[in-house]
Amino acid sequence: MYDELKPCPKCSSTELVRYNVSERVFCTILAKRIDSCIPVKVCVKRFECKKSARATITLI
């Protein structure tokens, strides 16, 4: 879990507002016992910069 937001990569501003939350596949585990692949999913929060209107992503 990341508590601190990274600044905007375009303008380095820290004035970010919450944009949305989405689910993404982080990695895939190969399980020999059940002979299949298991996707590991994470929830991702997206934020938008107030100054440059560019979306940034951080993991929950």
Phi-psi region of 12 (alpha: psi -120 to 50; beta: other; left: phi over 0): left
pTM: 0.54
Residue 32 corresponds to which tokens in the numbers above? 């020999």
For the cut 60, the answer to whether the pLDDT of residue 57 exceeds it is no
- pLDDT of 58: 58
Residue 16 corresponds to which tokens in the numbers above? 């970010």
Residues forming beta bridges with residue 46, ordered by sequence position = 20, 57
- pLDDT of 16: 83
- pLDDT of 31: 84
Torsion of CA 58, 15, 19, 42, to 10 degrees: 10
Question: pLDDT tens across 3-45, in order?
Answer: 677 787 778 888 888 888 889 999 999 988 878 899 999 988 8
- pLDDT of 39: 93
